[in-house]
A and B are shown apart, each in its own frame.
Chain A
Amino acid sequence: MQQQEIHKFLLNYFEANHCEIIENHPTHLVIGLSIEMDKELMNRPFYWHYLEKTGGVPNPMTLTLITDSLNAPEDLKGEHIHFGSPRLHQIFQSTKKLAGFIRLYEDAAITSQQPLYPWLCLNVKISYQCDRKKDICLSIGLNLISGEIKEAFHDRIVRLKVTPKIPDLFFNLSPLIMPASGLTRLDGYIRKTFEGDDHSWAEEAIVRWNNDLNLLDRFYEGQEDNENYQTEKAALRAQYEPKIDISVINGGLFYLTEKAV
């Protein structure tokens, strides 16, 4: 992630969370936190607890984030933000936490009444994991009327104009597939996407695993009751056992015009 991307990300994050942007300089940002964001990020529960008990005037903090350390004014006091900095990762986590579920309506310019089709969207991360790891991000949408499934769904809707309230002249079509069974269909679809993939990574991990198991057996030959033998065996499973983990980044319901995606 480039420093400019980080800068833009931070700006968007604080704007989306209704914080005051006191300064937006190419090298740094000064943010007046909202009360909610102070509680979210600044980790001072005792202050807020005290304030609520005593009924004092809340004084949320101001955050200075330096995104270009080389060119920022020398006397500027603030947190230097780069891709590995704990603050940025805290904000990443917070973004994910605050934006897990969504429901939006397409807001197209129309002159007569039109239906909106319900889509169930999932953005997932598929992790291939053994003693090593790799992630693949996948965005898919399921048409809850026709059952049609589209990939790269997020890229398709990101350019649409959307709104949280159903716009005038539009009406929703009721889903024929209920959300719960929609999720099951998507789960099944996701599993199919990697079924035919090259899984030599898992096969190789199992070879390594068996290899180490053989060594272990030789080491503890004749003392299979030894507690350490069982511990080591379990440790080898934890180290090598191949797994695929599907975790949801976020997702939700999108009501879209017929030809939108």
Chain B
Amino acid sequence: MKIQISFDSDWSKEFLHKTTEDGPWANWDLYKLAIEAETHLAIPEFDGLQAPKHLPQLKPLPHQLEVARQVVETMHGKAILADEVGLGKTIEAGLILKEYMIRGLVKKVLILVPASLVSQWAFELNTKFHIPAVIQRKSYVWDSCDCIVSSIDTAKRDPHRDIILQQEYDLIIIDEAHKLKNNKTKNYEFVQRLKKRFCLLLTATPIQNKVEEIFHLVSLLKPGHLGNEALFSEKYKGKGRLVLEDEDLKLLVNTVMIRNRRADTGIEWTKRHVETTVIDFSPTEQALYDAIVAFKPGESGKSSSFSGLTLQREACSSREAVYYTLKNMKEKAENPSPAYLESIDQLIEKVNAVSHNSKAEKTLELIQKINDKVIIFTEYRATQLYLQWYLKQHGISSVPFRGGFKRGKKDWMRELFQNKAQVLIATEAGGEGINLQFCHHLINFDLPWNPMRLEQRIGRIHRLGQEEDVRIYNLATRNTIEDHILKLLYEKINLFEKVIGELDEILTKLEIGNIEEYLIDVVGESKTEGEMKIKMDNLSSLIQFAQQVKDGETHAATGNS
């Protein structure tokens, strides 16, 4: 076998030059030191990790070291790191990056993360790993810096896009990689075109809904590992998440993906305490809610039951949220009938009649009682704005947080919350990608219908580094759709007490494509309350059953073997 061999000719040239010029020559002590230094820096073995001895302050957990070792030794630097939320995927990625840098295999690095995490990544790499990662601010850094952290949205835009596609990266790290599950998106197409030697994809939820998602993720990393698209879908289409039970596929996926579960790590976690408060509507709020339930927008069909349900859920949150949607419906309707417009106006009248928000009052009471930092989650922007105003009226300082904030603003808001304000009010979009371990009270002002999203909310505070027990307060309004969801779904499956990531595993067992769509179906299409109850009971028994199956197993679907 022929192996390419290269010899350092620069040294030879300079040496010959010095022999003719008679020096200058180095000092003997320094000469000896240089050899000593190189002896220490030489990598003695292909196997094992060098990074830990370069990072004496970092105290990685055993599972994190194991992940790093496995990626370097057996996965050849291409892996999906899919630990459950809060097990320290960033630390694992940092260890791997450091290991490759020490070994001299990686120099040029691109790290693509959600905008809200850009500065946190750069900070951690610099302080914990001594890696001079630079935040992308100007377009020229792409060429001039070796290790860059950027948001994918910036990177894929001109003029950055073309410059980045020119670069030859040794390692690319992509955080929250589940956003690349769809191969038809611009982001996916962009990442696919990047030139990369090694690649790490980080996600806590490698499959959310469809089996194709794992196919697309793996194909970014190792095209062909799961065959081509036609063959794959022929074999597995329509099998949903259950497909991971398929032994062949499981084996294949496990060679490119590592997934640690909380239970495997043996780490002690703080507890979750859950308190649900049921709230009664005031008469005017009740009148609005009833009117909305009676309201049938447009023609029958899925979209109408969807917007009807949206309004009902909003009515449980704030009149502001309802108003905003109504206004939109009015403006966006094409050739609306006078009757339709009139019915909306009648609803707006009911909105105007509502004088106060019973939930907000309860929230205020809670915050005063807690007398510590609190995060409030709501699904609706309008509610977020209202709550901020309302709390301010009562002398409570709060900061808003949304997914759409620019990176700097997100950092600033987080810092304001940590140092100045008592309350942070976040919308769903802002839920992902901020770490708020310094806070341990969370109020769910309204509930998302996808349990995974609720899990992500809680994951913001219940993660490694949280030292206190976490307290979760749920607010639900009596005899509303919200009440149903809470009682029939969440409480039955004990969602709130579940340890981090357990739910994810359970949902993996179920073949429900998209749980949110399913719920909309159940709630929206049921003719009677009785029918809905039965369907919801079915769902929760299914989840309970999946949990029993899971408890009876030692190894999970995609578990680490």
Contacts and interface: CB of A to CB of B under 8 A. Distances in A.
A58 interface: no
A239 B42 contact: no
Given A96-B34, A100-B26, A246-B5, A83 B56 contact: yes
Interface residues of A, number: 83
Interface in A66-109: 82-86, 92, 95-96, 98-104
B140 interface: no
Contacts of A45: none
Interface stretch (B221-229, B275-283, B315-323, B367-375): B221-229
Interface stretch (A8-16, A22-30, A49-57): A8-16
B219 A219 contact: yes
B45 interface: yes
B42 A125 contact: yes
A15 B30 CA distance: 9
Interface string B83-114: 00000000000000000000111000000000
A129 interface: yes
A84 B31 contact: no
Contact of A232 (B12, B15, B27, B223): B223
27 contacts: A15-B29, A84-B56, A95-B37, A96-B34, A96-B37, A99-B30, A124-B8, A129-B104, A129-B105, A131-B105, A135-B42, A135-B43, A135-B44, A137-B35, A199-B1, A203-B1, A215-B223, A219-B224, A235-B195, A238-B197, A239-B198, A240-B76, A243-B3, A243-B6, A244-B6, A246-B7, A250-B34
Nearest to B45: A134
Contacts of A92: 37-38, 41
Contacts of B7: 187, 190, 246
A158 B32 CA distance: 8
Please provide the 9 A-B residue pairs with the shortest distance between their CB atoms, ordered closest to farther.
A84-B54, A215-B224, A219-B224, A135-B42, A248-B11, A16-B29, A99-B30, A99-B26, A219-B223
Interface stretch (B17-25, B148-156, B357-365, B543-551): B17-25
Contacts of B23: 103
A191 B5 contact: yes
A168 interface: no
B168 interface: yes
Interface of A, helix, strand, loop or mixed by DSSP: mixed
Contact of B130 (A86, A99, A134): A86
B192 A102 contact: no
B193 A227 contact: yes
A250 B35 contact: yes
Interface string B496-539: 00000000000000000000000000000000000000000000
A136 interface: yes
Interface string A196-225: 000101110010100010111111110000
A223 B246 CA distance: 29
Nearest to B132: A86
Interface string B281-315: 00000000000000000000000000000000000
Most-contacted residue by chain B among A85, A218, A250 (CB, 10 A): A250
B240 interface: no
Interface string A220-261: 110000011001101100111111111111111100000000
A221 B27 CA distance: 61
Most-contacted residue by chain B among A102, A199, A218, A234 (CB, 10 A): A102
B184 interface: no
B339 interface: no
Nearest to A216: B224
Nearest to B26: A99
A228 B224 contact: no
Interface of B: 1, 3-8, 11-12, 14-16, 18-19, 23, 25-46, 53-57, 72-73, 76-78, 103-105, 130, 132, 168, 170, 192-193, 195-198, 219, 222-225, 227-228
Nearest to A162: B28
A179 B27 CA distance: 21
Contacts of A252: 15, 25-26, 31
Interface of B, helix, strand, loop or mixed by DSSP: mixed
Given A85-B130, A134-B44, A216-B223, 19 more contacts: A84-B53, A102-B25, A132-B73, A133-B103, A179-B15, A179-B16, A183-B12, A183-B16, A212-B222, A212-B224, A214-B224, A231-B193, A239-B197, A240-B76, A241-B4, A242-B3, A249-B38, A252-B15, A253-B19
Contact of A202 (B1, B42, B43): B1
Contact of B34 (A190, A212, A249): A249
A176 to B, nearest CB: 15
Given A86-B130, A134-B43, A9 B36 contact: yes
A110 interface: no
Given A12-B29, A216-B223, A137 B197 contact: no
Contacts of A201: 46
A217 B228 CA distance: 10
Interface string A146-170: 0000000010001000101000000
Contacts of A124: 8
A240 B73 CA distance: 13
A187 B14 CA distance: 16
B192 A228 contact: yes
Contact of A247 (B8, B19, B31): B8
A133 B43 contact: yes
Nearest to A154: B35
Given A212-B222, A220-B223, A95 B4 contact: no
A98 B223 contact: no
Contacts of A235: 195-197
Contacts of A59: none
B43 A102 contact: no
Contacts of A220: 223-224, 228
Contact of B5 (A132, A206, A244): A244
Contacts of A245: 5-6
Contacts of B18: 101
B27 A16 contact: yes
A190 B45 CA distance: 20
Interface string A3-39: 0000001001101110000000000000000000000
Contacts of A250: 26, 31, 34-35
A183 B15 contact: yes
B222 A215 contact: yes
A143 interface: no
B46 A246 contact: no
Contact of B195 (A98, A103, A191, A231): A231
Contacts of B103: 132-133
A7 B179 CA distance: 48
A62 interface: no
Given A13-B33, A131-B105, A202-B3, A101 B44 contact: no
Contacts of B25: 101-104, 164, 252
Given A96-B38, A231-B193, A239-B197, A102 B28 contact: yes
Contacts of A104: 25, 28
A189 to B, nearest CB: 12
Contacts of B5: 191, 243-246
